Amino acid sequence: MVDIWHCDAVGIYSDVQGATGENFLRGYQTTDASGVASFTTIYPGWYTGRAVHIHVKVRLFDSANNVTTEATTQIFFDDAVSDAVFRSAAPYSSRPARDTRNGADGTYGNRTVLLASLQVDAVAGYSGTFPLAVRVGQVNAG
């Protein structure tokens, strides 16, 4: 199972920060037989002290539904792409310049994070594929 969550365009997470009881921009998918899960979401916003990112958690379960493997990471986005999105698209463009770029984010330097590789389509927007691998038996609730 793969879980993702991230803040909205103005830096708010669901179920916290005045959005208690809401569950926007959070989701999970059970992987298919090849281990693939797909999500459709918006480009993440930013909040003070953090670069643009999406949280990801991968969990494997045994036949009794106990977690046997768990790994958590974050997907970061190229600063130039984030700059372009935040300049050109509302509601992102209505905010002041973000205060933290990838290099200044304390989590970005961690070896367990990924930098997104995105493709852009003038109509559909951005898309990306992110390979994740976890060591079976690893439990890193991070």
Q: Which fold has domain 2-140?
A: Protocatechuate 3,4-Dioxygenase, subunit A (2.60.130)
How much is the pTM? 0.90
Tokens of 112: 């367990």
Tokens of 127: 């898309």
Span 92-139, pLDDT tens digits: 999 999 999 999 999 998 877 889 989 988 788 899 988 888 888 777
Average pLDDT, integer, range 83-87: 94
Residue that wins the pLDDT comparison between 137 and 88: 88
Distance from C-alpha of 61 to C-alpha of 89, rounded to nearest angstrom: 40
Predicted pLDDT at 44: 97
Distance from C-alpha of 135 to C-alpha of 20, rounded to nearest angstrom: 34
In percent, the amount of the chain with pLDDT more than 90 equals: 68
What single DSSP character describes residue 82?
H
pLDDT at 140 over 70: no
Q: Where are the domains of the chain?
A: 2-140
The partner residues of 26 in beta bridges, in order of sequence, read 5
Span 27-42, pLDDT tens digits: 999 999 998 999 999 9
